[in-house]
């Protein structure tokens, strides 16, 4: 058992020490938390000066909530017997590194607690409506893998993750700076929500066989691997098409054409998935999906900044 565990850790390039805790955060998914905050804040900058303290607080709170959600995922999948030492895509802190499940749960609660404190600061400085939305978001983050029917085990995981981490976070990041919400910011959030949903879909394509054996009913399982990969490509296509439409209709500045530089990474995702059936073979595609969101989101935020300063 110990030899097998070591072989798996070597195959996944998992190291000990600080790396154990870094993996627990599932860093390739954290793009879903910092990209929306950046975009929402840059959009607000077009309307006037921004509050740097609010930006930093929102950024840290979003990362903490995303990290805590990943920890709840690690904990509850282990408790339900879904994770084992050969599982790919998890932090592996419990099943391969021997960290106590209770430690993971307590750390997730601590992260939520810090995020709540930051939420008080954000709400006090902007509006208490942010606190209401934040509480709802944290409840959804917990129910994503906790509760009697985890959202992540259903076909609606991509929808919830995209709307919450994309549209809602962008909307809040914009609102706390401007104290208003416009239809334009909602439009702008949609492609980002699609890319964030794509991260989860890529994850579920990789885990399709194991999820099916565990009784999950994810979108990837309902579609089948081949159709799920095609649907992933369609999601990318829709996101870029919407971006083009927004540029043509002046919802986004002409500078936003630079977001299309990220298409090379989106194409790479589909190519890396094609013909692969083993989870470890699909890890590069999963990582590339997160990078697609990162590159697109950074370039979109940069284009808004360029519109402001040029």
Query: Is 0.95 surpassed by the pTM of this model?
Result: no
Per residue in 86-95, pLDDT tens? 666 555 688 7
pLDDT in tens, 31-54: 888 999 999 999 999 999 999 999
pLDDT tops 90 at residue 121: yes
pLDDT at residue 3 tops 60: no
pLDDT in tens, 58-81: 999 999 988 888 888 888 888 877
* pLDDT average, residue stretch 211-238: 93
CA 107 – CA 63 distance, rounded (Å):
14
Place of tokens 């990789």: 206
pLDDT at 130 over 50: yes
- The CATH T-level fold of domain 14-309 is Farnesyl Diphosphate Synthase (1.10.600)
Domain boundaries, the chain: 14-309
**Average pLDDT for residues 269-277, to the nearest whole number?**
93
Question: How many Cα atoms within 13 Å fall on the side-chain side of residue 231?
Answer: 20
Per-residue pLDDT averaged across 18-34, rounded?
79
């Amino acid at each position: 058992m110990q030899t097998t565990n070591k072989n798996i850790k070597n195959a996944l390039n998992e190291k000990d020490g600080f790396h154990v805790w870094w993996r627990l955060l599932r860093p390739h998914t954290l793009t879903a938390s910092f990209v929306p905050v950046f975009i929402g804040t840059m959009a607000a900058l077009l309307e006037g000066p921004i509050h740097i303290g609010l930006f930093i607080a929102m950024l840290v709170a979003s990362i903490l909530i995303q990290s805590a959600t990943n920890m709840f995922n690690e904990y509850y999948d282990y408790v339900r017997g879904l994770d084992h030492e050969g599982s790919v895509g998890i932090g592996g802190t419990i099943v391969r590194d021997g960290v106590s499940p209770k430690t993971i749960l307590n750390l997730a609660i601590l992260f939520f607690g810090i995020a709540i404190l930051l939420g008080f600061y954000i709400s006090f400085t902007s509006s208490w409506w942010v606190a209401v939305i934040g509480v709802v978001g944290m409840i959804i983050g917990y129910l994503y893998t906790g509760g009697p029917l985890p959202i992540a085990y259903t076909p609606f995981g991509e929808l919830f993750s995209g709307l919450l981490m994309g549209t809602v976070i962008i909307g809040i990041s914009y609102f706390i700076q401007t104290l208003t919400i416009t239809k334009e910011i909602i439009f702008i959030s949609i492609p980002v929500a699609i890319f964030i949903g794509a991260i989860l879909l890529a994850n579920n394509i990789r885990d399709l066989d194991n999820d099916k054996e565990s009784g999950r009913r994810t979108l990837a399982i309902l579609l089948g691997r081949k159709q799920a990969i095609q649907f992933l490509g369609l999601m990318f296509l829709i996101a870029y098409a919407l971006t083009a439409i927004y540029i043509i209709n002046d919802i986004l500045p002409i500078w936003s054409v630079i977001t299309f530089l990220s298409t090379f990474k989106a194409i790479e995702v589909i190519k890396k998935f094609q013909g692969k059936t083993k989870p470890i073979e699909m890890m590069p595609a999963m990582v590339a999906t997160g990078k697609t969101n990162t590159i697109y989101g950074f370039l979109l935020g940069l284009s808004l900044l360029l519109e402001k300063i040029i």
